[in-house]
C-alpha cells in the first residue's frame, strides 16, 4: 500500500493517540486544568508532534520531511518531561503518566525509524533524481 496522505503514516496515527491521552488526562483532573501554563505546554507539545509529521509530509522533500520529523521527536520528548511535572504535582496518577510517557516514546521511536528509512533512501537514490515520498510502502513507520 502506498502512503498517499499523512494520515497513512503510522507515526502520525500514534501521535494522534498521544494527543488524545494528554487531553484525556487534563479532562479528568480539575487541578491539572487549573495549571493553565502546564496544560498549554503539554497540549502544545503533543499537538506539535502530530502536526510536524503532517507538515513535513506535505513538503514532499526528504530533507525537509526529516527536519520536521526531528521536531516531532523533540516535541514527544517534551511531552514526556511535562508528564513528570503533572505527576510530581499530583495532577495525574502514575498510570496515566506512564501511558502518556510510553505513547510519547512510541511516537519518538517511529519518528526515528522513518528518519532512518528516509536517510537510507537518500543514499540509495541516484544523484539528481530524488525519490517521491508517496512511493513509500506502508510499513510500521
Please report whether residue 35 resides in a domain.
yes
Give 89's DSSP letter: T
Residue carrying C-alpha cell 544523484: 127
In a domain, 113, yes or no: yes
Band of the pLDDT at 123, cuts 50, 70, 90? confident
The span from the CA of 84 to the CA of 69, in Å, is: 23
Query: Looking at the predicted structure, is the pLDDT value of residue 135 above 60?
Result: no
pLDDT at 130: 44
Query: What local confidence, expressed as pLDDT, does residue 2 receive?
Result: 85
Q: Does 96 reside within a domain?
A: yes
- Position 133 scores a pLDDT of 54
* Domain of residue 124, residue span: 6-135
Residue at 1 is within a domain: no
Return d(Cα 3, Cα 16) in angstroms, integer.
17
In CATH, what number is assigned to the domain containing residue 37? Answer: 1.20.1440.60
Residue 101 has pLDDT above 90, yes or no: yes
The answer to the question of residue 99 being in a domain is yes
Does any domain span residue 86? yes
Whether 36 is in a domain gets the answer yes
**Total structural domains in the chain?**
1
Tell me: pLDDT of 129 over 50: no
CA distance 47 to 6: 15
pTM of the shown model: 0.87
Higher pLDDT, 55 or 1: 55
Is 141 within the bounds of a domain? Answer: no
Residue 87, helix vs strand vs coil:
helix
Amino acid at each position: 500500500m502506498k502512503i498517499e496522505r499523512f494520515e497513512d503514516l503510522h507515526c502520525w496515527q500514534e501521535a494522534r493517540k498521544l494527543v488524545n491521552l494528554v487531553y484525556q488526562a487534563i479532562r479528568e483532573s480539575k487541578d491539572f486544568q487549573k495549571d493553565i501554563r502546564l496544560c498549554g505546554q503539554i497540549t502544545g507539545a503533543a499537538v506539535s508532534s502530530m502536526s510536524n509529521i503532517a507538515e513535513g509530509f506535505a513538503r514532499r522533500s526528504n530533507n525537509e520531511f526529516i527536519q520536521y520529523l526531528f521536531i516531532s521527536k523533540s516535541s514527544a520528548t517534551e511531552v514526556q518531561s511535562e508528564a513528570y511535572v503533572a505527576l510530581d504535582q499530583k495532577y495525574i496518577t502514575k498510570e496515566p503518566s506512564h501511558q502518556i510517557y510510553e505513547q510519547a516514546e512510541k511516537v519518538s521511536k517511529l519518528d526515528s525509524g522513518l528518519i532512518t528509512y528516509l536517510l537510507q533512501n537518500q543514499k540509495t537514490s541516484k544523484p539528481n533524481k530524488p525519490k517521491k515520498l508517496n512511493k513509500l510502502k506502508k510499513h510500521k513507520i
